[in-house]
Structure 1
Amino acid sequence: MLLGVNIDHIATLREARKINDPNPLDAVSICKLAGADQITIHLREDRRHIHDIDAKAIIEQSALPINLECSINNDIIDIVCKLKPFRATLVPENRNEVTTEGGLDLESNFNKIDAAIQKLKENEIEVSLFIDPNNKSIELANMLEATWVELHTGSYANIFAMLYTNLKHTQHSIKELELSQDELINKLNKSLEDIKTASNFASNLGLKIAAGHGLNYQNVKNICNIKEISELNIGQSIVARSVFTGLHEAITEMKKIVNG
């Protein structure tokens, strides 16, 4: 299984002081030496972490393929076409969110997504769609002729955190917070089964399958065991671990888990 390392949060640390250090570009060579297969960055509309100059430098200088996450905003798509990453992953964006809260609404945005995909393909950029793990979204992704789907694992990761780390966070609903341990276990199993079912369905349609969001050293193994998934994109947990171990060791440790 391939490991894409998302280095956005290195830029987040830089933006905390609005200075030029740390530079996310410096992480690229470390990621390669540590065994990462891909670099993932998200060029958000509000530029809260990665800036255009970061994306340009990383794409031009990286020895690893670059997966550039972006919204379907026309101006952003135009920028991506000029930058020419190896892959563009189209994701939903809400400027008030802390992090991406769910998959793309393919049905409501079908025509706009279709236009974005066609433009990206004209510029020889591979396209992935970040979607919730359900058959309807996968059917629409197939109709849109995406090459990849990246399944949103946030629900699974959130329930796992509530169950095994006693995490109480505002991203969870009041209803979830009131669930018993047995109810949370059932909910976790259902979430994992949804990812398995979606992966199998997507594979049968000929789509390539990635997964990501909220994955960490504790919860990733269950996702690694889904044979149809060929790539994981993981960022925050790796960068957080690197504060204590260094980036090379943090990636190496995650790569060992991913490879079983």
Structure 2
Amino acid sequence: MTARVRLGVNIDHVATIRNARGGPHPDPVRAAQLAVAAGADGITAHLREDRRHISDDDIVRLVAALTVPLNLEMAATAEMLQIALAHGPHAVCIVPEKRAERTTEGGLDVLGNQAGLRAFVDRLTARGSRVSLFVEPDPDQIEASAAIGAAVVELHTGRYCYLTGDDQTAELARLAKAAALATARGLEVHAGHGLTFANVGPVAAIPQVAELNIGHFLMGEAVFVGLDFAIREMRTAIDDARPPSPAC
């Protein structure tokens, strides 16, 4: 039986546009609702320490408005932990975060910070959130993620997306090996970063991948074709790569 790959839509950059001018428009919560209507299985929002896009109020309103799971991306800080514990989202994805970066660059060093991250995993899990760790497709990081009790790893696909030719093929193989190892260790496998219509297929075809989280590309395409169409096209691209079983 082939499981349907879930599509999580990240609505951060609707907030980026809003914040460029201030005021309430465009509203990321409205974008989230449109995404769900277009076929998104979940919504992802990254509440950064500097609040450069999603705001605290956005999280409050998303929790209240959504009828699908919310995946809260956050850094492993005391402030973000308290926010996540207060809201209890369906999922929390812990990501590395640097103030100077434009977007998330690379995966967490779980291996080098097992004790600190375990404390986050334990508290968030006790609150009822599924904890995901955003990691490179590296065996040591995956083993460490399993060892500290995470439920999910989200494999960073940025390197795959920005490579070409044989280098991209080799990185895809690395992603596939990492996904197989994670599944063997009892972790659910998600993937994301840099995925587009053109490159999503091979990642969606990896049998262990349960969910893809995509944001920036979809919001950029929506400028030209509309959010509904962009999400439906991505859903089609994913399903064409790994058609779901009629029973799934």
Question: Shorter-normalised TM-score: what interval?
Answer: over 0.9
CA distance in 2, matches of 1:231, 1:7: 16
Equivalent of 2:8 in 4, 20, 30: 4
CA contact (8 A) 2:97 2:104 kept: yes
Equivalent of 2:80 in 60, 76, 81: 76
Q: Deviation at 1:31?
A: 1.1
CA contact (8 A) 2:156 2:192 kept: yes
What is the SS of the residue equivalent to 2:71? strand
Letter in 2 for 1:20: P
2:55 is equivalent to residue 51 of structure 1: yes
CA contact (8 A) 1:74 1:116 kept: no
- Give the equivalent residue in structure 2 for 1:238: 218
- Give the equivalent residue in structure 2 for 1:139: 143
CA contact (8 A) 1:35 1:252 kept: yes
CA distance in 1, matches of 2:207, 2:101: 32
Q: Deviation at 1:123?
A: 0.9
- Give the equivalent residue in structure 2 for 1:37: 41
CA distance in 1, matches of 2:191, 2:201: 12
CA contact (8 A) 1:59 1:85 kept: yes
CA distance in 2, matches of 1:151, 1:87: 16
Q: Deviation at 1:134?
A: 1.1
Letter in 1 for 2:185: L
CA distance in 1, matches of 2:230, 2:166: 31
Q: Deviation at 1:111?
A: 1.2
What is the SS of the residue equivalent to 1:40? strand
CA distance in 2, matches of 1:29, 1:99: 24
- Give the equivalent residue in structure 2 for 1:169: none
Instruction: Point out 4+ residue stretches in structure 1 off by more than 6 angstroms.
Output: none
- Give the equivalent residue in structure 2 for 1:99: 103
Letter in 1 for 2:52: R
Q: Deviation at 1:125?
A: 1.0
2:121 is equivalent to residue 112 of structure 1: no
Q: Deviation at 1:231?
A: 0.4
Letter in 2 for 1:84: G
2:183 is equivalent to residue 203 of structure 1: yes
- Give the equivalent residue in structure 2 for 1:224: 204
CA distance in 1, matches of 2:226, 2:169: 33
Equivalent of 1:254 in 227, 234, 237: 234
CA distance in 2, matches of 1:36, 1:251: 7
Consecutive unaligned residues of structure 1, counting only runs of 5 or more, are 164-184
Consecutive unaligned residues of structure 2, counting only runs of 5 or more, are 241-248
Q: String of CA shifts for 1:178-222, please: whole Å, max 9, x gaps.
A: xxxxxxx22111111100000011111111000000001111011
CA distance in 2, matches of 1:157, 1:216: 8
Q: Deviation at 1:108?
A: 2.1
CA contact (8 A) 2:12 2:45 kept: yes
CA distance in 1, matches of 2:52, 2:176: 33
Q: Deviation at 1:27?
A: 1.2
What is the SS of the residue equivalent to 2:111? coil
Q: Deviation at 1:116?
A: 0.7
Letter in 2 for 1:257: A
CA distance in 2, matches of 1:205, 1:122: 21
Letter in 2 for 1:230: A
CA contact (8 A) 1:104 1:132 kept: yes
Q: String of CA shifts for 1:149-194, please: whole Å, max 9, x gaps.
A: 00000100111xxx4xxxxxxxxxxxxxxxxxxxxx2211111110
Q: String of CA shifts for 1:220-239, please: whole Å, max 9, x gaps.
A: 01101101101000001111
2:128 is equivalent to residue 148 of structure 1: no
CA distance in 2, matches of 1:102, 1:76: 20
Letter in 1 for 2:166: N
TM-score when normalising by structure 1: 0.89
CA distance in 2, matches of 1:7, 1:109: 29
Pairs aligned (count): 236
Equivalent residues in 2 for 1:148-167 (5 A)? 148-159=152-163, 163=164
Equivalent residues in 2 for 1:186-197 (5 A)? 186-197=166-177
- Give the equivalent residue in structure 2 for 1:126: 130
